[in-house]
């Protein structure tokens, strides 16, 4: 030990180090006894634990909430399980990853990060909600693309107008719709995810101030088709009280799980073609994500999606509707005037698609006496006729149906496109026109007024089941004899009867013959 100048002993460097470390240990121990900082933002308790959201533009927002266990490892290609619980308060400020999907060659996907652990949902809620109506959105993307976090699906305007908006991810492509002899489950995993999200809403939305007895499920394209499958599934009774189908078809011919259906091979056959019949379940579940995704968008519209499995799906949606085998809820349904625009994403066009359908050219010309008849005819066959059949079947079963035809084009785009493209109604329904590229240059005051108008109709439907909000004669409930819909055009919005009736009858008759209806 060293001595100081007065002859006293002074501690060496090692002693001082031991004292410092002891002091640090005391400080650390004291810090461990303190409570963690209070979470910022609103906190609610849901299945799994507590979550803390944010307040943005005056509404409460909760992102990235797990509604099911991660479908990874042994849980790949199994029905969704309840989410795993967590300790403390989970931050719910950021979206969860989107489900794995191919790249989109024609435009940026805007889905952000992807991961197989992707079963998350998002909630926008009014600040003081009490038994508020709830709308649950199912995104489109041919059952291969998309997520519930895409910018057009922002729920701020819904929540600002008193309606809770929920979006979510579901398994896509081979992850969502797959079967193989080695698996003890098969088929409709993506559809099961959608039902699990709706069940989560039923069980948890009260914590956000929502009314679990007033849920509207709605979606566009594959999301709209999903609504039709959910509407006609024996497994989804009571999960929603209203349904809205935007460009969801209705004349689908659905693939079967284990049997060929006409020219459609079964889902099991597709699985064995991809990987062979001898591979075991462990090897399938160990495949890298990119290998499961496979090629880009080959196969066209309808190449993947729900299949008839005798359990979740027991028939084509249109056939089930016509037989009255669907949940008795009000339905809002419609399609757009230029649905053929979607074909560009699949490397084809309307002329090629119509030619492949082998429709007699003379018959087509008689039904569509216009220069671009293939464009209109394909849209009618794929979407418009199915929307009318859906409305007709619902009305004939004694429920209220509301049919629309969307033909509104942005004011500054009217000399550039032939009509309202596939999905173009979405930013109007959500009142999210500002998410368009260069909105200040592209979006006019008239466009914003139309967005507020269309948005109000979806809000009204969620609140009461009447999209017109009791405006007499403006948008009457569909009646087959009158065949009246709401025409939403660039120059006017009005009730119209008999829109291309002969042409839609033609497409419906072809579908009936093909399905034995």
Q: Which helix (H) or strand (E) holds 245?
A: strand 242-246
- Which pLDDT belongs to residue 29? 39
Q: What residues pair up with 31 in beta bridges, in sequence order?
A: none
Which is catalytic among the residues 147, 221, 337, 424? 221
Sequence-ordered strand ranges (E) for 247-348: 331-336
Of 34 and 276, the one with more pLDDT: 276
Evaluate the CA torsion angle 253, 255, 256, 259 in order and state its sign: positive
Q: How do strand 54-56 and strand 59-66 relate by DSSP bridges?
A: antiparallel
Record the pTM. 0.92
Q: How far is it, in rounded angstroms, from Cα 87 to Cα 335?
A: 46
Lay out the sheet containing 242-246: strands in order across: 54-56, 59-66, 120-125, 164-168, 132-138, 210-220, 242-246, 331-336, 401-407, 484-489, 493-497
Q: Where are the domains of the chain?
A: 45-424+468-515
- Which pLDDT belongs to residue 402? 98
Q: How far is it, in rounded angstroms, from Cα 114 to Cα 169?
A: 11
Q: How far is it, in rounded angstroms, from Cα 119 to Cα 71?
A: 8
Q: How far is it, in rounded angstroms, from Cα 429 to Cα 216?
A: 14
- Which pLDDT belongs to residue 18? 38
Which is catalytic among the residues 339, 374, 425, 508? 339
Backbone angles phi, psi at 101, to 5 degrees: -160, 160
Does 405 participate in catalysis according to the annotation? Answer: no
The string of pLDDT tens digits covering residues 32-43 is: 444 455 567 899
- 10-13: long-range contacts, CB 8 A cutoff, minimum separation 24: none
Q: How far is it, in rounded angstroms, from Cα 55 to Cα 389?
A: 42
Chain centroid to Cα 330, Å, comes to 19
Max Cα distance, the chain (Å):
118
Quickly count: other Cβ atoms within 10 Å of residue 458's Cβ: 24
Q: What is the DSSP string of 38-62?
A: PPSS-EEEETTEEEE-EEETTEEEE
Which is catalytic among the residues 422, 455, 457, 507? 422
Q: How far is it, in rounded angstroms, from Cα 151 to Cα 131?
A: 27
Chain centroid to Cα 409, Å, comes to 23
Residue 210 has pLDDT above 50, yes or no: yes
Residue 6 has pLDDT above 50, yes or no: no
Kindly report the average pLDDT of the chain as a whole number.
Answer: 91
Residues 6+ apart with CB under 8 A from 27: none
Kindly tell me the burial class for residue 372, based on how many C-beta atoms sit within 10 Å of its own C-beta (0-12, 13-18, 19 or more). Answer: middle
Q: How far is it, in rounded angstroms, from Cα 37 to Cα 247?
A: 47
Q: How far is it, in rounded angstroms, from Cα 357 to Cα 351?
A: 10
Give the confidence band of 274 by pLDDT, cuts at 50, 70, 90. Answer: very high
Does 456 participate in catalysis according to the annotation? Answer: no
CATH class of 45-424+468-515: alpha beta
Coil, helix or strand at residue 124: strand
Q: Give the pair of three-digit tokens for residue 360.
A: 């007699």
Based on its alpha-carbon atoms, the radius of gyration of the chain, rounded to whole angstroms, reads: 27
| Whether the Cβ atoms of residue 483 and residue 505 lie closer than 8 Å to each other | no
Residue 26 has pLDDT above 90, yes or no: no
Q: Give the pair of three-digit tokens for residue 32.
A: 């461990």
Backbone angles phi, psi at 29, to 5 degrees: -65, -40
Does 221 participate in catalysis according to the annotation? Answer: yes
Q: How far is it, in rounded angstroms, from Cα 502 to Cα 512?
A: 15
Residue found by looking up tokens 């979510």 in the block? 168
Residue 3 has pLDDT above 60, yes or no: no
Average pLDDT rounded to a whole number, residues 59-80: 98
Q: How do strand 9-10 and strand 493-497 relate by DSSP bridges?
A: unpaired
Coil, helix or strand at residue 493: strand
Q: Give the pair of three-digit tokens for residue 447.
A: 């466009």
Q: How do strand 43-46 and strand 49-52 relate by DSSP bridges?
A: antiparallel
Calculate ∠ Cα 244-122-157, nearest 5°.
Answer: 60
| Whether the Cβ atoms of residue 243 and residue 207 lie closer than 8 Å to each other | no
Give the confidence band of 106 by pLDDT, cuts at 50, 70, 90. Answer: low
The string of pLDDT tens digits covering residues 389-419 is: 999 999 999 999 999 999 999 999 999 999 9
- Which pLDDT belongs to residue 517? 85
Residue 7 has pLDDT above 80, yes or no: no
| Whether the Cβ atoms of residue 385 and residue 470 lie closer than 8 Å to each other | no
Give the confidence band of 12 by pLDDT, cuts at 50, 70, 90. Answer: very low
Residue 245 has pLDDT above 90, yes or no: yes
Q: Which helix (H) or strand (E) holds 122?
A: strand 120-125
Q: How far is it, in rounded angstroms, from Cα 90 to Cα 29?
A: 24
Give the confidence band of 105 by pLDDT, cuts at 50, 70, 90. Answer: low
Indicate the range of 6-20, 94-108, 212-226, 245-259 predicted with least confidence.
6-20
| Whether the Cβ atoms of residue 399 and residue 126 lie closer than 8 Å to each other | no
Residue 230 has pLDDT above 70, yes or no: yes
Residue found by looking up tokens 């809620």 in the block? 125
Q: How far is it, in rounded angstroms, from Cα 489 to Cα 406?
A: 7
Average pLDDT rounded to a whole number, residues 219-225: 98
- The proportion of the chain whose per-residue pLDDT surpasses 90, expressed as a percent, equals 85
Round to the nearest angstrom and report the end-to-end CA distance of the chain. Answer: 102
- Which pLDDT belongs to residue 21? 35
């Amino acid at each position: 030990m060293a001595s100081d100048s007065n002859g006293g002993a002074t501690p060496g460097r090692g002693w001082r180090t031991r004292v410092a470390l002891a002091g640090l240990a005391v400080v650390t121990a004291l810090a461990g006894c303190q409570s963690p900082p209070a979470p910022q933002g609103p906190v609610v308790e849901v299945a799994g634990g507590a979550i803390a959201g944010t307040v943005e533009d005056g509404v409460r927002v909760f992102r990235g909430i797990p509604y099911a266990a991660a479908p990874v490892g042994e849980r790949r290609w199994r029905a969704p399980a309840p989410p795993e619980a967590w300790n403390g308060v989970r931050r719910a400020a950021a979206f969860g990853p989107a489900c794995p999907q191919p790249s989109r060659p024609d435009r940026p996907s805007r889905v952000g990060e992807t991961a197989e652990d992707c079963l998350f949902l998002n909630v926008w809620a009014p600040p003081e909600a009490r038994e508020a109506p709830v709308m649950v959105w199912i995104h489109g993307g041919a059952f291969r693309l998309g997520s519930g976090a895409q910018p057009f699906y922002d729920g701020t305007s819904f929540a600002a107008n008193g309606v809770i908006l929920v979006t979510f991810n579901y398994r896509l492509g081979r992850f969502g719709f797959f079967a193989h002899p080695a698996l003890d489950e098969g088929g409709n995993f993506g559809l099961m995810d959608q039902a699990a999200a709706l069940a989560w809403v039923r069980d948890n939305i009260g914590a956000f101030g929502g009314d679990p007895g007033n849920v509207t499920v709605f979606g566009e394209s594959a999301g709209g088709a999903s609504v039709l499958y959910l509407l006609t599934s024996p497994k989804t009774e009571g999960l929603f009280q209203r349904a809205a189908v935007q460009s969801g078809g209705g004349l689908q011919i659905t693939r079967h799980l284990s049997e060929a259906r006409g020219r459609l091979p079964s889902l099991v056959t597709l699985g064995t073609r991809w990987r062979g019949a001898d591979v075991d379940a462990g090897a399938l579940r160990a495949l890298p994500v990119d290998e499961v995704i496979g090629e880009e968008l080959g196969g066209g519209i309808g190449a993947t999606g729900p299949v008839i499995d005798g359990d979740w799906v027991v028939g084509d949606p249109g056939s089930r509707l016509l037989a009255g085998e669907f949940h008795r809820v009000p339905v809002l349904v419609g399609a757009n005037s230029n649905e053929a625009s979607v074909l560009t994403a699949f490397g084809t066009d309307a002329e090629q698609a119509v030619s492949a359908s082998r429709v007699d050219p003379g018959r087509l010309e008689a039904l569509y006496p216009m220069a671009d008849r293939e464009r209109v005819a394909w849209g009618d066959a794929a979407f418009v006729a199915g929307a009318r059949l859906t409305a007709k079947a619902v009305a004939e079963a004694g429920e209220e149906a509301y049919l629309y035809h969307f033909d509104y084009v942005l004011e500054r785009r009217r000399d550039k496109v032939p009509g309202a493209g596939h999905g173009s109604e979405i930013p109007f329904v959500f009142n999210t026109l500002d998410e368009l590229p260069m909105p200040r240059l592209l979006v006019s005051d008239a466009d914003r007024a139309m967005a507020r108008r269309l948005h109000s109709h979806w809000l009204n439907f969620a609140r009461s089941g009447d999209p017109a909000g009791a405006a007499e004669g403006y948008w009457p409930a569909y009646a087959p004899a009158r065949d009246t819909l709401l025409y939403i055009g660039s120059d006017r919005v009005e009730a119209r009867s008999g829109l291309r009736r002969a042409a839609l009858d033609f497409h419906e008759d072809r579908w009936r013959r093909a399905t034995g209806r």
